[in-house]
Structure 1
């Protein structure tokens, strides 16, 4: 069984959209007022995702899943920083992601 099989379906859609570089699908699983942080620092979600995911070919290889599918550890790779071990935590509201927090593991 792959690690993504244990993810919450909305989180799995987030990972799939990120890996497919599909911005429409990615933003489609987020609430309109979604927020995020990177290494404990609040970030502008649109600016961060453009720089760290879409313009730098971000890719998540999920290693493990925790917190009922709402947290994961993954190898994250992009053309800006290379590869690093990261953690991701998600908060859901009304079936969408209202917040995610990522950082180095």
Structure 2
């Protein structure tokens, strides 16, 4: 079962998922701090290169299954045109109303 994006608890994370699903680069990058960072499967990545490859040029989208920690930790089915669908975990650090870091990777099995 999925959680509708408009029901996500944290407003910044909700806006992040909305922008990602809409493939809206301007809104997406507007939600990040100027020094934002990210990791994928525990390895820090170049945020602009990673988002271009994994989100924007490959039609990335998230269907959220569960949220914890006030909406700053998500489990979602992440789909893009390159890799197909996979169950992923996302953790967000929000600073002054913007995402300063996000970490993603394969979600552990239930």
Provide TM-score, normalisation by structure 2: 0.92
Q: Deviations over 1:41-71 (max 9, x none)?
A: 0000000000000000000000011011101
CA contact (8 A) 2:3 2:66 kept: no
Q: Over aligned residues, Cα RMSD in angstroms?
A: 1.2
Map of 1:17-96 to 2, 5 A cutoff?
17-96=19-98
Unpaired stretches in structure 1, ≥5 consecutive residues: none
User: Which runs of 5 or more structure 2 residues have no equivalent in the other structure?
Assistant: none
For 1:7 and 1:73, the matched residues in 2 are separated by 14
Write out the 4+ residue segments of structure 1 that deviate beyond 3 Å after TM superposition. 1-4
1:7 equivalenced with 2:9 (yes/no): yes
1:2–1:83: structure 2 CA closer, same or farther, 3 Å change rule? closer
After superposition, what is the alpha-carbon deviation per residue over 1:58-89, rounded to whole angstroms, capped at 9, x for unaligned?
00000011011101000000011000000000
SS at 1:57 equivalent: coil
What is the TM-score normalised by the length of structure 1?
0.96
